[in-house]
């Protein structure tokens, strides 16, 4: 077979079910205490520092990392359970999510020991927030066109330039960013970019929030002016950031957050149609649930491969492609079906408010973290077409 795609039927091990109960109980307590409202994904309180610390205290941040750095040496599948339960509950994960999923693993792999010992335990305690500095005003999907310069100076680098669409930069304590240390070469246009750890909230960094079409301020413009980064904040190989990106993508792209972002409208639709749906509603809900179940099984399968030490880059890209297209369409399909819901449904207003927010959220889902077009390019390469 040309395309040996593997999606083995991985099952979550028994210890995951105990953990799931603990996470659900914790979230129920938080909801009861008023930390967040699972029915209102459009809340303004998505940055919840105290909640972040309580999640850390539970041992649910840095779950797979070495104990030496504050981690818990648990499996990738256990982390999966925590992630999906938080997402389905619409828990306010913004403060810790990026650090836990992405930035921590990068530091583990590339940061010097003193930095690992300093920062990783604080991520695990839910104390620090990370942003990722990739896109620039003239370089989005085309990552390797980045122009923000890191110029060598005594003991480090001076940074000049602008990052944009940087989620959470306005609350972040750190950013992991790529900056240009050399021009690209004729042979390799990806050459010349270096990954850096940047300490935020300092002179020389200006963060300008950008309002999104949902009304929220999640992403930002970040302007660097002669900002100094010490030598030991280089992560990995100078000029070689392009070699470091690919293996992390599988982690970033296959998680439950890649199909559950608008899940809440499906729950609310099921509530609105009641116990005895008409044929059209039942058929519509049945299809959506079948699609959801399938994606989750694909996503768990990829998590199992990651746990087994494999690098399922193509499979992960497929999960994100299908998952984000699905979660983008979901509010529209739910809207189709909600048109037939009785006017008297008690949660009608909740459903309408949710739909309004989800429909406004939808366009970003196939853009953030790798556009559909980029993903399909990766899949095509995996198929041997490029």
Partner 1 sequence: MAESENIVAETAEKIFADLADAQTINRDKNGAWKAPLWQALSESGLPLSWVPEDCGGSGASLAEGFSVLSAAGRFAVAVPLAETMLAGWLLVQAKISSPDGEMTVAPASPKDRITLNADGSLSGKARGVPFAKAAKHIAVIAGDAKGLSIALVDAGKCRIDSGLGLGGDHSDTVTFDKVQPVTTKPAPKGFEQTHLMLMGGVARSLQIAGALESMLEISVRYSNERVAFEKKISKFQAVQHNLARLAGESAAALAAATSAADAIANATSFNDEVFLEAVAAKIRCSEAAEKGGGIAHQVHGAIGFTIEHILHRYSLRALGWRDDFGSESYWAVELGKLVANRGADELWPLVASR
Closer CB to partner 1, 212 or 291, in the complex: 291
Closer CB to partner 1, 202 or 276, in the complex: 276
Closer CB to partner 1, 190 or 296, in the complex: 296
Closer CB to partner 1, 120 or 379, in the complex: 379
Q: How far is the CB of 356 from partner 1 (least distance, A)?
A: 19
> How many CB atoms sit inside 10 A of residue 121's CB?
18
Rounded CA gap, 292 and 380, in Å?
24
Q: How far is the CB of 3 from partner 1 (least distance, A)?
A: 5
Q: Are 30 and 91 in contact (CB under 8 A)?
A: yes
| DSSP letters for 124-151 | HTT---EEEE--BTTBSS-GGG---EEE
Closer CB to partner 1, 237 or 373, in the complex: 373
The CA-atom distances, in angstroms, between 36 and each of 11, 85, 127, 244, 258 are 31, 14, 19, 37, 22
Q: How far is the CB of 206 from partner 1 (least distance, A)?
A: 38
Q: How far is the CB of 379 from partner 1 (least distance, A)?
A: 4
Closer CB to partner 1, 160 or 267, in the complex: 267
Q: Give the helix ranges, DSSP H, for the chain.
A: 14-32, 49-57, 76-88, 94-98, 104-110, 113-124, 241-244, 246-253, 264-273, 279-307, 313-338, 348-365, 372-382
Q: How far is the CB of 349 from partner 1 (least distance, A)?
A: 16
Q: How far is the CB of 5 from partner 1 (least distance, A)?
A: 5
Q: How far is the CB of 386 from partner 1 (least distance, A)?
A: 7
Rule CB under 8 A: which residues touch partner 1? 1-3, 5, 7-9, 11, 20, 84-85, 88, 263, 266-268, 270-271, 273-277, 279, 281-287, 289-298, 301, 314-315, 318, 321-322, 373, 375-377, 379-380, 382-386
> How many CB atoms sit inside 10 A of residue 303's CB?
29
Closer CB to partner 1, 124 or 266, in the complex: 266
| Bridge partners for 151 per DSSP | 158
Residues in the chain: 386
Q: Give the helix ranges, DSSP H, for 308-338.
A: 313-338
């Amino acid at each position: 077979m040309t395309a040996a795609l593997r999606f083995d039927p991985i099952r979550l091990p028994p210890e995951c079910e105990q953990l799931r109960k603990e996470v659900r109980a914790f979230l129920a307590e938080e909801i009861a205490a008023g930390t967040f409202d699972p029915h209102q994904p459009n809340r303004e309180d998505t940055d919840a520092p105290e909640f972040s610390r309580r999640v850390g205290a539970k041992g649910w941040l840095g779950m797979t990392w070495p104990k030496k750095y504050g981690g818990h040496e648990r499996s990738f599948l256990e982390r999966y359970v925590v992630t999906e339960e938080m997402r389905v509950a619409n828990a306010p994960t913004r403060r810790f999510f990026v650090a836990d999923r992405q930035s921590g693993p990068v530091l583990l792999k590339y940061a010097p020991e003193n930095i690992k010992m300093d920062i990783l335990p604080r991520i695990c305690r839910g104390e620090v927030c990370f942003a990722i500095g990739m896109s620039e005003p003239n370089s989005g999907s085309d990552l390797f066109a980045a122009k923000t310069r890191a110029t060598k100076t005594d003991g480090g680098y001076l940074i000049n330039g602008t990052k944009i669409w940087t989620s959470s930069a306005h609350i972040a304590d750190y950013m992991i960013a790529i900056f240009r240390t050399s021009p690209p070469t004729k042979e390799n246009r990806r050459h010349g970019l270096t990954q850096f750890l940047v300490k935020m909230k300092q002179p020389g960094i200006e963060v300008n929030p950008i309002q999104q079409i949902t009304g929220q301020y999640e992403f930002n413009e970040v302007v660097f002016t002669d900002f100094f980064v010490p030598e030991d904040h280089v992560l990995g190989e100078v000029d070689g950031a392009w070699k470091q990106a690919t293996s992390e993508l599988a982690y970033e792209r296959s998680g439950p957050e890649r199909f559950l972002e608008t899940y809440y409208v499906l729950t609310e639709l099921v509530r609105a149609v009641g116990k005895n749906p008409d044929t059209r509603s039942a058929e519509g809900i049945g299809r959506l649930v079948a699609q959801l179940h399938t994606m989750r099984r694909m996503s768990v399968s990829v998590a199992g491969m990651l746990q087994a030490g494999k690098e399922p880059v193509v499979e992960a890209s497929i999960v994100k492609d299908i998952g984000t297209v699905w979660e983008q369409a979901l509010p529209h399909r739910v809207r189709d079906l909600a048109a037939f819901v009785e006017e008297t449904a008690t949660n009608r207003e909740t459903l309408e408010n949710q739909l309004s927010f989800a429909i406004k959220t939808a366009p970003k889902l196939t853009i953030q973290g790798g556009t559909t077009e980029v993903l399909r390019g990766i899949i095509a390469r995996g198929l041997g077409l490029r």
